[in-house]
Structure 1
């Protein structure tokens, strides 16, 4: 708009309309980016909740293994004592 009068109301209105379009496009792009970030955050939250649930189930099922190990060791020791005492 180099050869038009900057005080011309029509030129000002056209320039304002052009700026409005540019701002709308920019806001749409930012809105899309924010929606993508929210979606990724929701997916991350779901994965974190799933991992927490799986970890809790592993922790619950882990304690019997130690008890079984101790019982097996005690049984082995008892069998060894019985065999040694029978000789």
Structure 2
């Protein structure tokens, strides 16, 4: 080998090492991104599950509150009937 060929071979070997190092760094970065993505997907799935559970609990509480609320139309009818009875008693009593 002559001197220029040797220097070209050395430069090519150095370039190959640089490229290999760059690929290793890229592969490492991609592995980190894949792991973060997988972790994020697990976290989102857990949050979705927790949110659905909380929503189910809230729906159950709302249904319980709806069942236990005052029957306002019935109370209004009873009040009106009571007022009519008092008015008739007052009118007839005089």
Task: Please identify the structure whose Cα radius of gyration is greater.
Answer: 2
Could you tell me the TM-score, scaled by structure 2's length? 0.68
Quick one: distance in 2 between partners of 1:76 and 1:17? 87
- Return the alpha-carbon distance in structure 1 between the equivalents of residues 53 and 23 of structure 2: 47
Tell me the CA shift for residue 81 of structure 1.
2.9
Do residues 64 (structure 1) and 72 (structure 2) align? no
The number of equivalent residue pairs is 75
Spell out the pairing of 1:49-60 with structure 2 (5 A cutoff). Answer: 49-60=38-49
Any unmatched runs of 5+ in structure 1? 1-11
CA deviation after TM superposition for structure 1 residue 79, in Å: 2.1
> Offset at 1:64?
1.8
Shift of 1:45: 0.8
Deviation sequence 1:24-74 (CA, Å, 0-9, x none):
111111111111000000100110111111111112222222221222212
Across the aligned residues of Structure 1 and Structure 2, the Cα RMSD in angstroms comes to 1.9
TM-score under structure 1 normalisation?
A: 0.72
Measured in 1, the distance between the counterparts of 2:30 and 2:6 equals 36
